[in-house]
Amino acid sequence: MTISDLTLKKKIILFGPPGAGKGTLTGVIKKYLPEIVHISTGDIFRENISKKTPLGINAKEYIDKGALVPDAIVIALVKDRLNRDDVKNNGYILDGFPRTIDQARALSEITRPDIFLLLDPPRDLLIKRIKGRYSCQYCGKIYNKYILPPKHEGVCDKCGSEIEFKQRADDNEEALNTRLEGYDNKSRSIVEYYEKKGILKRIKTPFILELTSEEIRNLIELLVLNICIPMQVKSDKIEEVQAKINKIKNSQPEYIEFRLDYIQDISLLTPTFLNKLIELSQDKEIKVILTFRKSTEGGKTEIDEKTRLEIIKKMITALPDYIDIEMSSNDEFIRKAVSLAFQYQVKIIFSYHNFEKTPSLDDVKNLITEFDNRLVKKLSIGAITTESFPFKLIFTAQSFYDNLVPIKICQKLSETRRNIISFCMGELGVFSRVSCVRYGALFTFASLEETTAPGQISINEMKEAHKILYKS
């Protein structure tokens, strides 16, 4: 495998009101991921309008009024575009789609996006930005009469052509109000839809152009590198726990996992304490995972399954984002945990560990199919409902080649609708630990001060590795 084989296949949705900076952000992302295919439904329509194609003629009457083109037309268009080879090989940035909940649902039938980036700048700035925006007719570089004029008036900075301020037909006041109103009406359910899928990221800065280069680097990093820092919970002393959590929060991981099985005395795991853990780590940007690992799968506290289920119940009612449960748990255990998790809208990460070796690719595929069948057929848990429950498959590498098993699993499962985390443990497994996120893993683990598994590297090493390996 060469470095060029490590190209990213990223599937990104950009979402925000007209003028939020989706086009600008696309430019930034493309600098880092030049191969990624930008699909702007608005651009496709404009091109078709200027060429007077049947699609263009049909769409024009809606677009000029600031109305949405009917779902059936847009969905067919996007479906066709996503099916082409360039997208399959290099990933996509979807800009301007989905715009309705039905479009979002239809998209889920076609592809499984990795990230939904929400841009939501203040309204007054937005209006100024839209009213002033125009682009070079020759090379497409974007300008703004008020915010970002060309360096020399009337001359394009990029290609040197003579340019004039010429607005898009739908950037007038009336159409703009209709578009913003339409956005407000439809956006909430779409944002919620992706929030539930666990792939929503908000961009806080009002305008992409105001991001510093450091922030841009962080943003790109965020597109690919999601890190979970595990924390061993050894006591219920709040000051101690709080200090540890704050340290972890300062290193800005996307996920924090509390390993509750590190506690000696399980009677300390009271609802009050668990609620406190969640409360202390609460941050819009950090997702919380609660885990009480079985002793046969690397857990630190030996207890019977009945007691463990009681703890799992307490964990769910403390309302973390996820709890982690071993696939090897018995049917009754899984059934009860799933039903409670549904009730409280907590997601379950179903995990599998092999501390001895890495099974063959076929064995892992069978394991996944069997577990899926067990959930759906034997335990009658709806396939759609478990879809957002990630599978986590962790093995010990005995050779470098073993790393390729989890990587292939990440590639394969992230193409379908199943969230996946898979890599190898041990010194020989570091390659997949680092690179799994490049192949569709939801996140990878890195440590801050203490490691919870062999081969775990620090968050700084993880970030550094990504910077060196994957940055142009």
Q: Give the residue with the Cβ less far from ligand AMP, 6 or 169.
A: 169
Is 433 marked active-site?
no
Name the minimum Å distance from CB 41 to ligand AMP: 3
Is 99 marked active-site?
yes
Is 168 marked active-site?
yes
97 lines the binding site for ligand AMP (CB under 6 A) = yes
**How crowded is residue 183: how many other Cβ atoms within 10 Å of its Cβ?**
18
Among 10, 81, 99, 466, binds ligand AMP (CB under 6 A): 99
Residue corresponding to tokens 């499962």: 413
Is 336 marked active-site?
no
Nearest by Cα to 22 from 113, 119, 144: 119
Region 4-33 residues binding ligand AMP, contact defined as CB under 6 A: 18
Nearest by Cα to 289 from 253, 257, 249, 337: 257
179 lines the binding site for ligand AMP (CB under 6 A) = yes
**How crowded is residue 148: how many other Cβ atoms within 10 Å of its Cβ?**
16
Q: Give the residue with the Cβ less far from ligand AMP, 181 or 305.
A: 181
The residue nearest ligand AMP at its CB is 42
Q: Give the residue with the Cβ less far from ligand AMP, 72 or 238.
A: 72
Mark residue 9 as left, alpha or beta (left: phi above 0; alpha: psi -120 to 50; beta: remaining): beta
Q: Which stretch binds ligand AMP (CB under 6 A): 66-74, 312-320, 401-409, 442-450?
A: 66-74
Is 105 marked active-site?
no
Among residues 10, 46, 99, 112, the one annotated as catalytic is: 99
The DSSP bridge partners found for residue 393 are 352, 422
63 lines the binding site for ligand AMP (CB under 6 A) = yes
Among residues 168, 336, 365, 463, the one annotated as catalytic is: 168
> Token pair of 457, please?
């590297």
234-241: long-range pairs with CB below 8 Å, 24+: 234/262, 234/263, 234/264, 235/263, 235/268, 236/263, 236/268, 236/269, 236/270, 236/273, 238/276, 241/276, 241/277, 241/280
194 lines the binding site for ligand AMP (CB under 6 A) = no
Region 28-57 residues binding ligand AMP, contact defined as CB under 6 A: 41-42, 45
121 lines the binding site for ligand AMP (CB under 6 A) = no
Applying CB under 6 A, what is the total number of residues that bind ligand AMP? 17
C-alpha span between 381 and 413 (Å, rounded): 19
In 3-state terms, what secondary structure has residue 229?
strand
Q: Which stretch binds ligand AMP (CB under 6 A): 95-103, 149-157, 185-193, 245-253?
A: 95-103
For the beta sheet containing 115-119, the strands, ordered from the edge strand earlier in sequence to the opposite edge, are 37-40, 91-95, 10-15, 115-119, 200-203
Residues of this chain that interact with ligand AMP (CB under 6 A) are 18, 41-42, 45, 62-63, 66-69, 74, 96-97, 99, 103, 170, 179
Instruction: Give the residue numbers marked as catalytic.
Output: 22, 99, 133, 168, 179
